[in-house]
Amino acid sequence: MVRGLSAQLTVLKLGGSVITDKEKPLTPNLAAIERLAKEISRANVSPLVLVHGGGSFGHPVAEQYGLSEGYKDSSQIMGFSITHQVMTKLNKLIVGSLINHNIPAVEVQPSSCVVTKAGRIQSMEDRPLRKMFEMGFVPVLYGDVVFDSENGFAILSGDQLVSSLAMNLDARRIVVGVDVNGLYTGDPKTDSLARLIRHITLEELKNLEPLIEGSKVTDVTGGMLGKMFELKPAVEHGIQTIIVNAAEPNRVYKALKGEKVVGTVIER
């Protein structure tokens, strides 16, 4: 529970594959952003924190400069700046759309408040966030390049942020919006026999892991497998986690409201 608040926090992740066109560099999916802002506004859940992914903004640039292995040479310095800059551009579109729908959204830059150690969050200044919740703001964070105490810099995925925020702020629910209906027994985009899993425990997830596909397009933080790896600690912590298709109208709305919805519920 966030101190001073009577309700528990909801953490919403909007996948980069939904809010951007992952096949076309630096191309937002403005229609999806607009629809999702409307759904979030209609759901009227508070307190709420939003985290979005990089999609065709952060990932191709981070890959071009080889940022995922940390600092190797000075040619990457500009790459860090550009990756961060494109992420802020995407973030502005999301925040702008939320504000247009009357949500008091505020950008929070991970690169300015998180330090990682070998890619894992080592410290995060969360006092501004706590104050924002207390005052009714909706902070909007994103996967970002951040400074790393061992490797100079690192790529911090939105999923690692989601899990860490949810645990530190004792969230009630995590809603993860992706571009498929949830977790499948294979890759639903290429395998017609892949079956949607409506409910899974951590124990069952362990057996399924060899079947879960990594993402096919450029995703420097590991696609669906990476997502599961990051979400597990939050689920272990007892936080209800649901993966839904954010590309389908009303799924995010229903998940935020705690209504029955097509998706995958992951539980301890």
For the chain, report the end-to-end CA distance as a whole number of angstroms: 19
Q: Read off the amino acid at residue 30.
A: L
Which amino acid, 172? R
Which residue lies nearer to ligand IP8 by CB, 16 or 177? 16
DSSP-assigned letters across all residues of 25-83: TT-B-HHHHHHHHHHHHHH--SSEEEEE--HHHHHHHHHHTTGGG---STHHHHHHHHH
Binds ligand IP8 (CB under 6 A): choice among 22, 29, 32, 54: 54
| CB crowding 215-236: b at 16 or more within 10 Å, else e | beebbbbbbbebbbbbbbebbe
Binding of ligand IP8 at residue 87 (CB under 6 A)?
yes
Rounded to a whole number of angstroms, the minimum distance from the CB of residue 9 to ligand IP8 is: 19
What sign results for the dihedral spanned by CA atoms 111, 20, 50, 264? negative
Decide if 20 contacts 56 (C-beta within 8 A).
yes
- Please report whether residue 59 would count as binding ligand IP8 according to CB under 6 A: yes
Residue 62 engages ligand IP8 in binding (rule: CB under 6 A) = yes
Q: Is 53 in the site for ligand IP8 (CB under 6 A)?
A: yes
263 binds ligand IP8 (CB under 6 A): no
| Cβ 55 to ligand IP8 shortest distance, Å | 6
Asked if 252 is part of the footprint of ligand IP8 (rule: CB under 6 A), the reply reads no
Stretch that binds ligand IP8, among 23-31, 90-98, 139-147, 244-252 (CB under 6 A): 139-147
Residues that bind ligand IP8 (CB under 6 A): 16, 53-54, 58-59, 62, 83, 87, 143-145, 155, 157-159, 220-221
